[in-house]
Amino acid sequence: MTTKQMDCALELSKTLNFSRAAENLFISQPSITYQIQCLENEIGFQIFHRSGKGADLTPAGAQFCGELQRIRDQLKAAVEQGQNMSSRYSEALNVCIPMRSCIYFLPQIMQRFEAAMPHVSLNIRFVYDDSRVDMFLRGEQDILFARESELKRFSNVRMAPLFHSRFYMILRKDDPLAEKEILTLADLSGRTFMVGGGSPGELIAVQNRIVESGRVQVLNCPDHETALANVAAKRGIALTPGFTNDHNGEFVWVPFDCTENISCVLGYHREDTRESTRYFIELVQAAYTHADAIPL
């Protein structure tokens, strides 16, 4: 299967008209017809039903083109990255970031890194779900922002400490509790408290203690983004670690009175002794050492 065949199939799946698809691709209609026929012969099933009025996707063709678009996008990105590497860089450093608070320092870290190491392509990828750890362990990422509890069981991973993230209650600005410097369990009496969403173990322990107190009503919430929407809609309040703060100023983050916290680290591969890896870690550690101005 060639990229030309892929592009022909994808364009025809959008236009469902051979003439229009050929025009959009700047090729002749016989050419796109030939490319589609060759592709269908190779994969062994019909992608399109032909008619005098144009073309329609077969059920198998609809499924195929959906997957084909994803593959074509990945291939295009890979080619573009390769072109960038070949023309400007001699090395790549891939960094996976799942923590929103990292965005606060990221621009200055990137600028300093690129000024000191212009030959290294610094590739930042944001991945919020659990697949980020698997990607890192497979070697697809060189550095991973993570919780210490996520990585400490892997012997081939080193960890550089960053900070201990405490827990905060997220509140609307007009919430009476927003005026307090710290919140206790007694302050939450009668409030609707959100739980769930794949919370880390450290957070679950504090959530359970609040729920078991019997002082709050409980609202299950699937993820952090939904929790923020519920807070904005006055449906409840949420407890979250400081590293999830995106610093957009829409909410008030008030510390919650508890001893638990989450240890945040940079994970990197034990065999990775490159200067670029060491320097990036040093930059990030330095940024968080002087992070007193933001809640962590």
Checking if the pLDDT of 129 tops 90, the result is no
Mark residue 116 as left, alpha or beta (left: phi above 0; alpha: psi -120 to 50; beta: remaining): alpha
How does pLDDT run across 183-209, given as a tens digit for each residue? 999 999 999 999 986 778 889 999 999
Q: Is the dihedral of CA 95, 288, 163, 103 positive or negative?
A: negative
Catalogue all structural domains in the chain, each as residue range(s) with its CATH number: 3-85 (1.10.10.10), 89-164+262-289 (3.40.190.10), 167-255 (3.40.190.10)
Query: What is the model's pLDDT at position 293?
Result: 58
- Cα–Cα distance for residue pair 91/51, rounded to 1 Å: 52
How does pLDDT run across 131-183, given as a tens digit for each residue? 899 999 999 999 999 999 999 999 999 999 999 999 999 999 999 999 999 99
- Cα–Cα distance for residue pair 6/29, rounded to 1 Å: 16
How does pLDDT run across 220-252, given as a tens digit for each residue? 988 888 999 999 999 999 999 988 887 788 999
Query: What is the model's pLDDT at position 294?
Result: 66
Structural Rg of the chain based on CA atoms: 25
Q: Given the DSSP bridges, would you call strands 48-51 and 54-57 parallel, antiparallel or unpaired?
A: antiparallel
- Cα–Cα distance for residue pair 276/91, rounded to 1 Å: 9
Mean pLDDT in residue range 22-47: 93
